[in-house]
Amino acid sequence: MCISALSILRVACALILSISICTKSSESARVLGLFPTLGKSHLIIQMEVIKTLIDRGHNVTVVTTLPVTKGNRNFQHIKLPERSYPEWIFTSFIEDRKGLMDELKQTSVMTDIALNISEASLADLIKSDFLNEEPFDLVVLGYFFNDFFMGIAAHFKSPLVIIDTHKPLFLTNSMIGNPSETLYVPNGLLDDTQPLSFVGRVRNTLFYFLEVVYSKFYIRSLNNIYEKYFPGAKYPSLIDMFKNVSLILQTSHFSEGIIRPEVPALIPIAGIQAKSKPDPLPKDLSLILDGATEHGVIYFSLGTNAKSSDRNPITIRSIYNVFSKLKQKVIWKWENGDYPGNASNIFYKKWFPQDDILAHRNLRLFVSHCGLGSVVESNYHGVPVLAIPLFGDQFGNAKGMVDAGFAVQLDYQKLTEESFGRAVKEMLDNPSYREKIQTFSKLYRDRPMSIRDTAAYWMEYVIRHRGAKHMQSPAVHMNAFAYYGLDVIAFLLVIVYIVFKTISVCCCTLIYRCRKSEIGGTDKRKKE
């Protein structure tokens, strides 16, 4: 009996050992996160994605230009020199926007600046002898004006996953063969919603072709930088790397109201940075929010790029005058010590734990620029939004919330004390905004598995299946002529032309013979 028990024990130990070895081999992958973003809001989302792999025991190396919190043994952080956009670029975007041509010029200038900054970060990384590291099983790229970082994945011959903190656009769609449907899917940079009107469909289609043309010039700029560091004699081309993207983790979700086609390689992870159980608030914030049981709290933030302290003083004074007269406490993200006023109900700070604030039961209203990260967090926690979009996709984000019934939108350039005051009063006094977004929040959270588990599963899926090429859409490898069916249309037109020509010739021949026969018969009768 002792021998039998000993045998069973040995078998059990061997089984446990084999399981642990298998588990380690399948779970402990080497993962590289490339997050050279200048936007803290983007980095928050990217780090939440990569933390899902850290928590699952993978050995993760993260490259950033911004500081991050390091805790786990299996996490290595490489900090590159920090750079920033010049302040005038956002002031130009926000204060000097007068029409489409101005926006196009400003976009071109910002693109050039962003590419220069991203290239400098790539050069810093390569100078650090990083390319001599051991190969990685997966490279995860935080995507934002830095496509040439894909060369790092080419160097290590690693599968590539992209985290896109914007709605799907032409270039990212084309990487995975996701269709850009112009007739019923509003462009992420426009403020249209579904269903599209005739004018909306025309505008959407024209903007799509503008995107296609712009992307050609944009890719040329990217390629010049890419080939400088990853020459064609040694590495695949940038276009080939576009086609090598295994997966895109997208901060969007169908419940937001835009129904679009999605290929298997497009995984929605909107809300990944929103915590179902918020972290404890700092003591000063906790006192404000916990104590505001009667009238509640308003939170005001214009994001990490467009600082409140850099905005038009007249507009800021109008906002302050309204806030200072309210019964509610106001938490205002303000980036320097030169406050617009010292009202006792307003609390200023350079940075706040936004997600934890939005999760608080006493928060009544979020005054926001409607960056995608802020929209996602307000959706998740069910907080109504007073939207003041400033540039880019923020206008479309705001319009979507307004149409859903849980936001009011103001034009920043036309904002006055009266218009801002009316909007704040409307949203505080009318419970329908909160009721609608609370209902939507339940819908938004209702998913077959948690957002973190979804992101982790699909990244591990790519690791397990060495790039998961079987998920790739055939559209990735089609040229424009074939993708848009121009060859099929040309072929069918030729067939139609041949058939028409054949019928035409036959008819002409038949008519000719009939007339000839009639003429012959007439001549015969005349002779008789």
Q: Among 22-26, 94-98, 211-215, 255-259, which is the least confidently predicted range?
A: 22-26
Q: Is the pLDDT of residue 379 over 80?
A: yes
Superfamily, domain 28-270+450-477: Glycogen Phosphorylase B; (3.40.50.2000)
Note whether 262 and 175 are within 8 A (CB).
no
Instruction: Encode pLDDT of 16-61 as tens digits.
Output: 433 443 444 346 899 999 999 888 889 999 999 999 999 999 999 9
pLDDT bin (cut points 50, 70, 90) of residue 1 is: very low
Q: Is the dihedral of CA 287, 290, 292, 298 positive or negative?
A: positive
Q: Is the dihedral of CA 445, 440, 199, 398 positive or negative?
A: negative
Q: What's the pLDDT at 528?
A: 58
Q: What's the pLDDT at 357?
A: 96
Q: Among 4-8, 124-128, 415-419, which is the least confidently predicted range?
A: 4-8
Residue written as token pair 């003083």 = 313
Q: What's the pLDDT at 85?
A: 80
Q: What's the pLDDT at 219?
A: 95
Q: What's the pLDDT at 25?
A: 38
What CATH number matches the domain at 283-445, 3.40.50.300, 3.40.50.2020, 1.10.10.10, 3.40.50.2000?
3.40.50.2000
Q: Is the pLDDT of residue 2 over 50?
A: no
Average pLDDT, the chain: 88
Amino acid at 19: I
Q: Is the pLDDT of residue 135 over 90?
A: yes
Q: For residue 282, what is the DSSP state?
A: P
Instruction: Encode pLDDT of 215-237 as tens digits.
Output: 999 999 999 999 999 998 999 99
Q: Which residues, in sequence order, are CB contacts of 88 under 8 Å at separation 6+?
A: none
For residues 74 and 76, what is the distance between their CA atoms, to the nearest angstrom? 7
Residue written as token pair 């979020």 = 366
DSSP string, 54-110: HHTT-EEEEEESS------TTEEEEEPPP----HHHHHHHHHS--SHHHHHHHHHHH
Q: For residue 132, what is the DSSP state?
A: G
For residues 213 and 392, what is the distance between their CA atoms, to the nearest angstrom? 18
For residues 257 and 141, what is the distance between their CA atoms, to the nearest angstrom? 27
Q: For residue 469, what is the DSSP state?
A: G
Note whether 428 and 364 are within 8 A (CB).
yes
Candidates 308, 286, 313; CA nearest to 297 is 286
CA atoms within a 13 Å half-sphere pointing along the CA-CB vector of 284: 7
For residues 369 and 374, what is the distance between their CA atoms, to the nearest angstrom? 8
pLDDT bin (cut points 50, 70, 90) of residue 304 is: confident
